[in-house]
Structure 1
Amino acid sequence: MTSTIDAAEVAKFEAMAAEWWDVNGKFKPLHQMNPCRLDYITGQIAMEFGRDLQGAAPFEGLRILDIGCGGGLLAEPMARLGATVVGADAAERNIPVARIHAEQSGLEIDYRHTTAEALAAKGEQFDVVLNMEVVEHVADPAAYLRACHDLLRPGGLMVCSTLNRNAKSFAMAIVGAEWVMRWLPKGTHDWNKFITPDELFDLLRTAGLDPVDRKGMVFNPLGWSWSLSSRDLTVNYVTASIRR
């Protein structure tokens, strides 16, 4: 079994593990973006599986994997919506942080220090794979996405987000977020690893997935808010694809 883990990338997030739930800490941008991410994720899952988001536990019966789960910012909302959730992360120090917070929140989430490849090798399969802000940190995106494909049941849904590669994304995600605002430590992102939407769609198809949607996640500096956009995919964007 091969691994697509980039040890240097894992070390970056290991160093920040204790700050996952500090809304004013190093993960402040992610906390601000999270409602926008959840809006897209829940909408795609509801549409694909015919679920009513107004119900008490709309995702009951669905098995969801949050790969690169960090401290559980996505895993916990999925559990609250009734899903059976596995959170996996290659950064070992993230797991106890996520477990403790889930326990404090009264949630049962199966957190594991493992990789997509290891889970796939064990034959694990899920209805949904959440693959958010991970693909730009792995050593081999094509191999990583093949592992994600194998983790999906036929008809399963993967939601994958990443950063576009252009001058604007360099200015905002690296110069703005890391150098000027200092929301993230310098070097958190490598612009050369950013992936354009067309490149990602090609990678998804090569991995055996059928891309069905993509949207931009756009930051409004005036309102300090995020929103989904069908047109603006220039920096952060998110995709949905199906294993047929």
Structure 2
Amino acid sequence: MRAPRSPQVSTAVLVQRWRTMTFLHWRYPAQVVQRLLPANLTVHTFDGAAWVGLLPFLMEDVRPPRLPAVPWLSRFPETNVRTYVHGPDGAVGLYFFSLDAGRLPAVVAARASLRLPYFWSDLAVEVDGDTVRYRGRRRTPGPDGAGYDLRVRFGQAYRDAELTAFDHFLTARYRLYSQVAGRLVAVDVAHPPWPLRRGNLVDLRQDVVQAAGLPAPAQPPALHASDGVDVRVGFPHLVRART
């Protein structure tokens, strides 16, 4: 099944690369997730359930277009906890419960501009052959100490024909929603389809999902892995309800 088409972002505020990405997703009752969303967003379900993802990865070459990357500032690990939503504009996208980043300036900028729930955290992405270890521990703001330690073995690439609607539901997301000064805004991101690979979860300990206000996952996660994509991030815009 073909992936949904990425939007065009002709004028980008940032360009970046998302590398060594792992997608872990758990099924939750829709009403459990809905109670954590803003009133103007509705949980987007698949197979009758909401899905919550834990996604650790490496950010590289983070910079405004046409400007050079700053080596220390432009490369750092990041991890997000997210779910999938319908917006009042009729579009679908994602909503972040938390984002952990290894660079304090990036945390401060994202919290100030888009009110995204970023946390400054001590993070690491360690690659050993086909096995990747992701580690993280939250610094500030609280809850102090929330974190994770997981290892994933990256496997063979999926052929396009092998990918299902469920695979795309969990990974092909090109819009984020956030509340800024009481108003809903959206940001579009453009990138090629994810080159998805099979993955095997070797080990997992985490409490960042619970720190978002959710119960601990009750089953093993659905897992996807990817070497990554190049990304263009658009300017935020106000979301207007569909009439």
Fold agreement, TM-score > 0.5: no
Q: Pick 1 or 2: higher relative contact order, CA cutoff 8 A, min separation 6.
A: 2
Greater share of residues in strand: 2
**TM-score scaled to structure 2, two decimals?**
0.29
